[in-house]
Amino acid sequence: MENVTQALQGVPLNHYILLSAIIFAIGVIGVLIRRNAIVIFMSIELMLNAVNLLLTAFSVHHNDASGQIFVFFIMALAAAEVAVGLAIIVMIFRNTNSTDVNILNKLKW
Amino acid sequence: MSSLITLSILAILVLYLGLYKAKNALLPATLLGLAGALVLAVLEWNGGAQPIYSGMMLFDNFAIAFTTICIFSTMLILLISKDYFESISEHVAEYYTLILFSLAGILVMVSYHNLTMLFIGVEIMSVSLYILAGIRKDDFKSNEAALKYFLMGAFSTGFLLFGITLLYGATGTFDLTQIRDYVIANPTGISPLFYTGITLLIIGLCFKVGAAPFHFWTPDVYEGSPTLITAFMSTVVKTAGFAAFLRLFLMCFAPLHDFWMPALLVISLLTLFVGNVTALYQHSFKRMLAFSSISHVGYMLFAIVALGVNSSNSVFIYATAYSIASIVAFAVLILVKRQTGADNFDSFNGLAKKNPFIAFTLTVAMLSLAGIPLTAGFIGKFMMFSTALAEYHIWLVILAVLNAVIGIFYYLRVIVAMYFKGAERNEIQSSSYFNFVLGFSALITVVIGVYPGFISSLF
| Per-residue model confidence as pLDDT tens digits over A24-51 | 999 999 999 998 999 999 999 999 999 9
Q: Is the pLDDT of residue A1 over 70?
A: no
Test A91 with B141 for CB contact under 8 angstroms.
no
Is B420 an interface residue toward A (CB < 8 Å)?
no
pLDDT of residue B104: 96
Of B143, B155, B169, the CB nearest to A92: B143
B441 touches B76 (CB < 8 A): yes
Domain locations in chain A? 2-97
| Separation in Å, CA B14 to CA A63, B24, B78, B97, B127 | 44, 11, 14, 6, 19
Query: To 10 degrees, what angle do helices B311-340 and B376-390 make?
Result: 150
Residue of B113, B114, B162 to mutate, testing the A interface (most A Cβ within 10 Å of its Cβ)? B162
pLDDT of residue B308: 82
Nearest to B155 by CA among A27, A71, A56, A53: A27
| Separation in Å, CA B96 to CA B126, B178, B433, B436 | 15, 38, 17, 20
pLDDT of residue A107: 64
B213 cis-preceded (ω within 30 degrees of 0): yes
- Report d(CA B11, CA B394) in Å as an integer: 47
For residue B457, name the pLDDT band (cuts at 50, 70, 90). confident
| Percentage of chain B lying above the pLDDT 70 cut | 100
pLDDT of residue B12: 95
| Separation in Å, CA B264 to CA B260, B398, B426 | 6, 17, 48
Q: With a threshold of 0.90, tell me whether the complex ipTM lies above it.
A: yes
Q: Is the pLDDT of residue B392 over 80?
A: no
CB atoms within 10 A of CB B98: 21
Question: Quick one: CA dihedral A31, A34, A40, A43, positive or negative?
Answer: negative
Residue B190: HSE in the Cβ half-sphere, 13 Å Cα cutoff: 22
pLDDT of residue B47: 80
Polymer length of chain A: 109
Residue pLDDT, tens place only, B175-190: 999 999 999 998 788 8
Q: Is the pLDDT of residue B424 over 80?
A: no
For residue A72, name the pLDDT band (cuts at 50, 70, 90). very high
**Predicted TM-score of the model (pTM):** 0.94
Burial call A34-70: b when 16+ CB within 10 Å, e when fewer: eeebeebbebbbbbbbbbbbbbbbbbbbbeeebbeeb
Q: What is the mean pLDDT of chain B?
A: 91
Is B60 an interface residue toward A (CB < 8 Å)?
no
Q: What is the 3-state secondary structure (H, E, C) of chain B?
A: CHHHHHHHHHHHHHHHHHHCCCHHHHHHHHHHHHHHHHHHHHHCCCCCCCCECCCCECCCHHHHHHHHHHHHHHHHHHHCCCCHHHHHCCCHHHHHHHHHHHHHHHHHHHCECEHHHHHHHHHHHHHHHHHHHCCCCCCHHHHHHHHHHHHHHHHHHHHHHHHHHHHHHHHCCCEHHHHHHHHHHCCCCCCHHHHHHHHHHHHHHHHHHCCCCCCCHHHHHHHHCCHHHHHHHHHHHHHHHHHHHHHHHHHHHHHHHHHHHHHHHHHHHHHHHHHHHHHHCCCEHHHHHHHHHHHHHHHHHHHHHCCCCCHHHHHHHHHHHHHHHHHHHHHHHHHHHHHHCCCEHHHHCCHHHHCHHHHHHHHHHHHHHHCCCCCHHHHHHHHHHHHHHHCCCHHHHHHHHHHHHHHHHHHHHHHHHHHHCCCCCCCCCCCHHHHHHHHHHHHHHHHHHHCCHHHHCCC
Test B173 with A66 for CB contact under 8 angstroms.
yes
Nearest to B331 by CA among B79, B80, B75: B80
Interface of A with B (CB under 8 A): 13, 17, 24, 27-28, 31, 37, 40-41, 44, 47-48, 50-51, 54-55, 58, 61-62, 64, 66-67, 69-70, 73-74, 77, 80-81, 84-85, 87-89, 91-92, 95-96, 101, 104, 106-109
- Report d(CA B424, CA B417) in Å as an integer: 13
Nearest to B325 by CA among B449, B188, B172, B189: B449
Residue pLDDT, tens place only, B76-113: 999 998 878 888 777 888 999 999 999 999 999 999 99
Test A89 with B140 for CB contact under 8 angstroms.
no
**pLDDT mean over B239-264:** 92
B407 touches B295 (CB < 8 A): yes
CATH 3.30.460.10 matches A2-97: no
pLDDT of residue B452: 85
For residue A100, name the pLDDT band (cuts at 50, 70, 90). confident
B236 touches B70 (CB < 8 A): yes
Q: Is the pLDDT of residue A90 over 70?
A: yes
For residue A108, name the pLDDT band (cuts at 50, 70, 90). low
Chain B: nearest CA to A54, how far in angstroms?
7
Q: Is the pLDDT of residue B459 over 80?
A: no
Which chain A residues are within 8 Å of B169, Cβ to Cβ? Answer: 13, 17, 54, 58, 61
**pLDDT mean over B334-339:** 89
Test B174 with A66 for CB contact under 8 angstroms.
yes
- Report d(CA B114, CA B119) in Å as an integer: 9
pLDDT of residue A109: 47
